[in-house]
Amino acid sequence: MPPFSRRDFLTTLAAGGFALAVQPVAQATVITTPSDGLVAGLVTIPAADGVALPAYRAMPTGPGPWPVVLVVQEIFGIHAHIQDICRRLARLGYCAVAPALYFRQGDVSRISDIATIMDTVVSRVPDAQVLSDLDAALAWAAAHSHGDTGRAAITGFCWGGRIAWLYAAHRPTLKAAAAWYGRLVGEHTALTPQQPVDIGAGLRVPVLGLYGGADSGIPLDTVERMRAEIGASGSEIVIYADAPHAFFADYRASYREGAATDGWRRMLEWFRRHGVA
């Protein structure tokens, strides 16, 4: 892995580019949301362990209070795609905050292949650290971004989709969550003591799960197992039959406009229905 430097990390984030491992393959589909009329850019959040945690924040101008949406990254960090999602939400009246949740473990933006990202950074990130950092981000949004944490939600993509399920169990005061193609089963380790399927039956926060029926990395039987676990908890899973993994990622070949557009519409309606908007 390239030598890690906090300064380089922040410089890369400020540039707003894509991670080296996932340079856009289809520029025509990349959605770019302007920041005009928004308060948008890098911020620093004090974490529970004293670390100054980098994050991207976008919100409307004005005093608010704004409902808060925590946006959880793919394995590629808070690169251009995640920052744009924050701006899309801000244009709809949300305060969107995306913390750099494995900043301590390394700078994935400078790693050129996915296997190395997984082996050298992502596999070393403790779930407890992530959940604590999300707690800190929520508190910071209330204190410094006119955020109304009584109307808070979380959404996450890929790696972040798994985290969205776990955070919904960890933080029962959330109004809602949306998990995009996050893994539901996996190894139980000291760093990852629970998987989403373990917490499904006890969920008190309504979670909308959005999955691709052609996702080669998330077998459909695990999605159906999760659907059975959530039962009558108020959560829901939608499967897009022909969509692959990362069907919302408009900068990748996996992007499927129909599924992405419908999933985004469903997420926003889910937030409205459950009192976030």
pLDDT single digits (tens) 129-174: 999 999 999 999 999 999 999 999 999 999 999 999 999 999 999 9
* Structure-block tokens of residue 220: 């459909």
Question: What kind and span of H or E run contains 138?
Answer: helix 127-144
pLDDT at 4 over 60: no
The DSSP 8-state label assigned to residue 54 in this structure reads E
Per-residue model confidence (pLDDT) at position 20: 57
Q: What is the pLDDT of residues 222-270, one digit of tens each?
A: 999 999 999 988 999 999 999 999 999 999 999 999 999 999 999 999 9
CA distance 118 to 122: 5
pLDDT at 3 over 50: no
What's the number of CA atoms in the CB half-sphere (13 Å) around residue 202? Answer: 12
Residues 161-175: b if buried by 16+ CB within 10 A, e if exposed: bbbbbbbbbbbeebb
* CB contact at 8 A, 240 and 213: yes
Q: What is the pTM of this model?
A: 0.93
Per-residue model confidence (pLDDT) at position 1: 44
Distance of CA 121 to the CA centre of its chain: 17
* Structure-block tokens of residue 211: 């999955």
Extents of the domains making up the chain: 6-18+31-273
| Residues with active-site annotation | 158, 215, 245
* CB contact at 8 A, 17 and 79: yes
Rounded to 10 degrees, the C-alpha dihedral 65/71/180/228 comes to -70
CATH class of 6-18+31-273: alpha beta
Q: What is the pLDDT of residues 81-97, one digit of tens each?
A: 999 999 999 999 999 99
Q: What is the pLDDT of residues 13-53, one digit of tens each?
A: 554 566 655 666 666 689 999 999 999 999 999 999 999 99
Mean pLDDT of 207-220: 98
Per-residue model confidence (pLDDT) at position 10: 52
In the block, tokens 């659907």 appear at 227
CA neighbor of 113 nearest in space, from 1, 217, 252: 1
Phi, psi (degrees; rounded to nearest 5) at 108: -70, -15
- For 216, the 3-state DSSP assignment is coil
CA distance 65 to 152: 11
